[in-house]
Amino acid sequence: MSMMNQGRPSAPGAVAPAHLAPTVTGNKALMLEEPLIFENGSVDVTGVDLEAVPAHKSRLAGLERSAPIGLPGLAEGEAVRHYTRLSRQNYGIDLGLFPLGSCTMKHNPRLNEKMARLPGFGDVHPLQPQDTVQGAFELIHRLAHWLKTLTNMPAVAMTPKAGAHGELCGILAIRAALEARGDARKVVLVPESAHGTNPATAAFCGYEVESIPANARGRVDTDALIARLGPDVAAVMITNPNTCGLFEPDMKRISDAVHAAGAYVYCDGANFNAIVGRVRPGDLGVDAMHINLHKTFSTPHGGGGPGSGPVVFSEALAPYAPIPFVVEEEAAPGIRGADNRRFHLIEEETANAEHHENSFGRLSAFHGQMGMFVRALAYIESHGADGLRQVAEDAVLNANYILRSLDDVMSAPFGASGPCMHEALFDDSYLKDSGITTLDVAKAMIDEGFHPMTMYFPLVVHGAMLIEPTETESRGRLDQFIEAMRALAAAAKSGDTTRFATAPHFAPRSRLDETRAARTPILAWKPATDERQAAE
């Protein structure tokens, strides 16, 4: 037989020398160093061939650019490589576990993406004639129906673009309702276990924010809250499940007391994923609540476009909801959707005629984030009511699996008060006297290939570590994460500070100087020559 007998066999037993010289390029095999595009490209290079502009008369009245713009050019292949290389240094839910508490970093199903790219949804323009977008209106209407049903609330504003925008929408509706009855209340109560955006929203809307303490079980101090109610309180902003990852069992008692005092209940629905299909906020006396479609309903967090935070309203606040919104027509002539239904928008011109004269106005230019609506409805319809209920159950199960798998080596401040909801909260008492901080643990998690958890929030506990696995992580992934966290906790307790103090060691960049970055940020790239000139 003929044999290939040249070349060198690979040697799996060979051991790499302990101290390798750095590579010539700075690359580490598949880990590629990448300069900024300004350093990489050149003004003399371009990826496209443009014809010279023929002589023409300028109509810019002297405002023409007189010097070259100085943007770097790259050939198409190099431009593609630049962004691909950068993307490899990033971390996302498509790469691994992303346990960022209160962010619900769940898998974004690809079915959603397929639906969002259908031309009838993906290629519509917000200024198209209403007759030509009946299908898009029907989709918005249908999603609105689902959100109202899941929350048992009679109205929903679809236009808010994110959670905090939804909070703004809710508080503006509350203010409009109070102003309508001539009641200039000044104070908004925010429990310590609420999201950090809540006090910011209330302050932005001109309210004085007063904090309500948490009790020893990580819940709102209900008695303190009720005792503070009075004729100056406009609203209570409560997060349920709260930022300690716990359900607020007194919610109905709180709502009843708030309503009796003439105020409104705003619920931060960021943690709705833990209760969707199980608890309807409308049954708990909530007047307004935002729903982050990019959390509970699996639309992308950034990247794929802006977020979306529809706000559901109670009967009392519904008249003050923002315009525009989609309504179904009973029996009007005109072009109809697939199933013979017809919809139109309530806008400024039609609000009065259609009995929406109390709307506080317009919150965004158009009807909301269409692409997110399509994705959220695809998610809802593909799960169905029973599937959504299981989402909440599995999210809670996964979080409790993490809580109980780690609470013997880490410290769970409210671990004794029963099961958690969708996220497991730890404090840093297990690191006491180790010289290692919550920040160090987060950096060591990067070395283990995980995105860090939410840290130093909520403020209710010291050195908080808030872990939300979501329901889309498998048992295998959770076990791998738990094994890594147990090993880190053991290393910290054994005094292995080097593993933590300078972590991450294996990331594209090691520990960054966050203090310097915050104190003296460099916000714009300048060519090196400019710096030299400045020095002269």
By beta-carbon proximity to other proteins, the closer residue of 365 and 518 is 518
Among 44, 94, 123, 514, binds other proteins (CB under 8 A): 514
Cβ 200 to other proteins shortest distance, Å? 10
By beta-carbon proximity to other proteins, the closer residue of 196 and 305 is 196
Among 81, 262, 457, 507, binds other proteins (CB under 8 A): 457
User: For residue 68, what are the CA distances in angstroms to 43, 44, 206, 508?
Assistant: 9, 11, 46, 34
The alpha-helical segments, DSSP class H, found in 181-322 are 197-204, 222-228, 251-260
Token pair for 457: 């929030």
Q: Which DSSP symbol is given to 325?
A: E
204 binds other proteins, rule: CB under 8 A:
no
Query: For 119, how many CA atoms within 13 A lie in the half-sphere containing its CB?
Result: 1
Cα separation, 129 vs 343, whole angstroms: 12
Cα separation, 371 vs 158, whole angstroms: 12
Name the residue among 507, 441, 451, 476 with its Cα closest to residue 103.
451
519 binds other proteins, rule: CB under 8 A:
yes
By beta-carbon proximity to other proteins, the closer residue of 107 and 516 is 516
Applying CB under 8 A, which part among 68-76, 107-115, 221-229, 455-463 lies near other proteins?
Answer: 455-463
Token pair for 31: 């880990």
Cβ 462 to other proteins shortest distance, Å? 9
Among 69, 518, 522, 528, binds other proteins (CB under 8 A): 518
Cα separation, 310 vs 269, whole angstroms: 10
Cβ 350 to other proteins shortest distance, Å? 43
By beta-carbon proximity to other proteins, the closer residue of 518 and 523 is 518
184 binds other proteins, rule: CB under 8 A:
no
Ordered DSSP codes for 389-400: HHHHHHHHHHHH
Dihedral of CA 12/13/14/17: which sign? Answer: positive
Among positions 408-447, residues that touch other proteins (CB under 8 A) are 439
31 binds other proteins, rule: CB under 8 A:
no
456 binds other proteins, rule: CB under 8 A:
yes
Dihedral of CA 467/286/146/344: which sign? Answer: negative
522 binds other proteins, rule: CB under 8 A:
no
Cβ 430 to other proteins shortest distance, Å? 17
Residue 378, SS3 per DSSP: helix
118 binds other proteins, rule: CB under 8 A:
no
66 binds other proteins, rule: CB under 8 A:
no
Q: Which amino acid is at 533?
A: Q
Cβ–Cβ < 8 Å for 242, 101: no
Applying CB under 8 A, which part among 75-83, 422-430, 441-449, 513-521 lies near other proteins?
Answer: 513-521
Cβ 411 to other proteins shortest distance, Å? 16
By beta-carbon proximity to other proteins, the closer residue of 152 and 497 is 497
Cα angle, residue 226 at apex, residues 172 and 154 outer, rounded to 5°: 40
146 binds other proteins, rule: CB under 8 A:
no
Among 515, 522, 523, 532, binds other proteins (CB under 8 A): 515
HEC states along 69-94? CCCCECCHHHHHHHHHHHHHCCCCCC
Token pair for 273: 């994923």
By beta-carbon proximity to other proteins, the closer residue of 25 and 515 is 515
> Per this entry, what is the length of the chain?
536
- Indicate the pairing of strand 454-455 with strand 465-467: antiparallel
Cβ 197 to other proteins shortest distance, Å? 12
| Total residues interacting with other proteins, rule: CB under 8 A | 8
401 binds other proteins, rule: CB under 8 A:
no
Among 118, 180, 385, 459, binds other proteins (CB under 8 A): 459
By beta-carbon proximity to other proteins, the closer residue of 122 and 206 is 206
Per CB under 8 A, residues contacting other proteins are 439, 456-457, 459, 514-515, 518-519
